[in-house]
Structure 1
Amino acid sequence: METETLGDPADPDLACVLGWGNRLDHENVRWLLETLAADSHVTAVQIPITVADFEEEYLGPVLEVVADLEDDYRFVGHSTGGLIGAYLRGEAAPATRTYLSPWWGMVPETAGPIFDLVTRLPISRQVVPTGTADREALGALATDRQIREGPDCAAPTFLREAARAQAGLADVDPDPEAVAFCTLTDRIVDPRRVGDRVDAERTVLYDGGHELFSSPSREAHAETLRAVVREGPAGLP
């Protein structure tokens, strides 16, 4: 995992765990991090693209990151980062938890016996086409570089571990103070699974693709995003 810190160290700590394929130096990711750093001391986390163990390669390293933050740190997780964030419990639980299009379930088109077979393959190379490196899927502001550098294939081991972590959420109580941002037209994650864990009154819908920060509507939601990161549901308009 790669990390970067932004903002004033005197501001409250915030851990921002990016999604699968997001890079710290991508322009739209920079917009997200700089927006959050306006009133938070941000530790941004770029996760590996290929893993073979969710707990060891995703959750464990993120737990190490947040262990170095203040006890009342804030959390923002996008997509796979939101899946990881749902497991931050006990002493690692943040003061506020904000999800951006959390990947809590596969889209229906993905599910089925072929997908189940693929996830059983012990292959840690990116060989399964995903169709995610696409401007329509990500958001209209996705840059050519972002699309070019974003992964368009996944490793079977990554898909297996993601599906296992998603299934494990059945044993993780939802955070009653969490806020989620999502779009109902998401082609990458199933927005119905967001509704399973976050009530409608704590869900902010936006127009665009999977990435709020790559959506033309991002500026309209920037202040609300910062407010709920600071205050939880009390920051909603």
Structure 2
Amino acid sequence: MRPLANSSQAGTILASAQSQIRQHHPEPSTHALRRLGHRLAGLVALSAMLLLGGCATLTAVRADVTTPKAAPQALVGAKVQLQAAPSTAAAPDADVFQSAVVQAMTHAGMVPLLGQPAPYTARYSFHSYLDFEASFPSAWPPPGAPILLPNGAWIYSGYPLWWSGFSWPPPWYDRVFKLEIRDTATGALVYSTSAVTGSYQPRLGPVAQKLADSALAGFPLRSGMHRVMIPGG
């Protein structure tokens, strides 16, 4: 049997082995480590930006607004009695709808009143309906941010994707808000506006405020057909 080396010989052998390892596998320099750290930090920051941007995109509402003509100046600061359409008043989210319209009209500069007579009367409605044409694959959303479907699936780049595979998307719905303001004495229509947004989710409550805000964006001067983006939050 070969005799064991003493401590001095062992130290010499270990130092020689470490030197050979460094020659073949040099340790990364401080500069290289710093560059790697900067790259990792950049990737983390980019991922956070994409995540936050994606979340904001998922909750934003893009509405197509139609306002035939600008509102008369007399409506600015005017008292307006609010009335809900029968179907809207009977809906489970009736209080949510009413609150959304009150807030949007107040922000626009009008004075909405509930159950009190006023020179002007506003009638509003919320409803959703199935858009058969938009439910076909040719109308799937264009490439962009992911869209969360009501059933927990995601649409990305125009194709429906589950964790377990692919499938057809659910029906597409249009969610609509309409507002008409008339002269109480004569019944003449003095202003009207509407906003519509599409979604795989038919529920109106979650977007009631954003629809009302979209319809009255730019009041009293804005008119015609235009698109409004209400950020998520």
The answer, yes or no, to whether TM exceeds 0.5 is: no
TM range (shorter): under 0.3
Structure (1 or 2) with the greater strand fraction: 2
Q: TM-score normalized by structure 1? A: 0.23
**Highest CA radius of gyration, 1 or 2?**
2
Q: TM-score normalized by structure 2? A: 0.23
